[in-house]
């Protein structure tokens, strides 16, 4: 179980690096999702190792926050994309 927690920690570190240097918002949102999922996996493995259900509520809170952040960012990206595609270009004659 220690190896699993170590693997989740390594995945979280890699995705945190991507979160910090990501070229765009979409990449950063994906990195945030991977970081949160890695954190959730590590918490779940630790809860199983300790045979304790105390932190399972924390898993639910992290999942809800991650889902809400992803939906909000995707709506923002969708609106930004629509604004760019619907904007008139300067080369179009009027």
Q: How far is CA 9 from the centre of its chain?
A: 15
Query: Residue range 3-26: average pLDDT?
Result: 92
Query: Residue range 6-22: average pLDDT?
Result: 93
Instruction: Show me where the domains of the chain are located.
Output: 2-82
CATH (residue range 2-82): 1.10.287.3510
Residue 9 class from Cβ within 10 Å (0-12 exposed, 13-18 middle, 19+ buried)? middle
What pLDDT does 93 receive?
A: 58
| Cβ neighbours of residue 8 closer than 8 Å, sequence gap 6 or more | 38, 39, 41, 42, 45
pLDDT tens digits, residue range 43-87? 999 999 999 999 899 999 999 999 999 999 889 888 887 777 876
Q: Whole-angstrom Cα distance, residue 43 to residue 63?
A: 12
Give the residue among 6, 8, 29, 9 at the shortest CA–CA distance from 19.
Answer: 29
Query: Residue range 8-30: average pLDDT?
Result: 91
Whether 19 has a pLDDT exceeding 80, the answer reads yes
Q: pTM (2 decimals)?
A: 0.78
């Amino acid at each position: 179980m220690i190896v699993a927690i170590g693997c989740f920690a390594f995945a979280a570190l890699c995705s945190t690096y991507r979160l910090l240097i990501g070229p765009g918002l979409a990449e950063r949102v994906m990195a945030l999702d991977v970081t949160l999922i890695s954190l959730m996996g590590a918490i779940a493995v630790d809860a199983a190792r300790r045979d304790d259900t105390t932190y399972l509520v924390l898993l639910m809170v992290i999942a809800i926050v991650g889902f809400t952040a992803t939906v909000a960012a995707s709506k923002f990206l969708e609106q930004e994309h629509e604004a760019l595609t619907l904007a008139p270009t300067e080369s179009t004659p009027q």
